[in-house]
Amino acid sequence: MNATLQMLVNNIELKTYFLEKYYKMDINPNNPLGFRGRLAEAFADFMRHMWNCQNRAIEPAKIKVC
């Protein structure tokens, strides 16, 4: 999982999409078949922590739960 997350976090298009919160326009919180935005929010939070220079080690626990 570590290598996959590193690859996703370093993708410039995904970085912009999540850090600028464009993903919020694509979330359907009312879809009973989906994750109701939980996975997108968890990944966005993970992205913010990864690009915050104050953090040294980050555990993707919220992503694992989704």
- Positive or negative, the CA dihedral 19, 53, 4, 31 is negative
Q: What pTM, to 2 d.p., does this model score?
A: 0.80
pLDDT of residue 37: 92
Q: How confident is the model at residue 55 (pLDDT cuts 50, 70, 90)?
A: low
Nearest Cα residue to 47 out of 28, 21, 26: 21
The answer to whether 49 touches 8, Cβ cutoff 8 Å, is: no
| Whole-number average pLDDT of the chain | 87
CA-wise closest residue to 6 among 38, 46, 42 = 46
Contact present, 23 and 40 (Cβ < 8 Å): yes
Residue 63, pLDDT > 80, answer: no
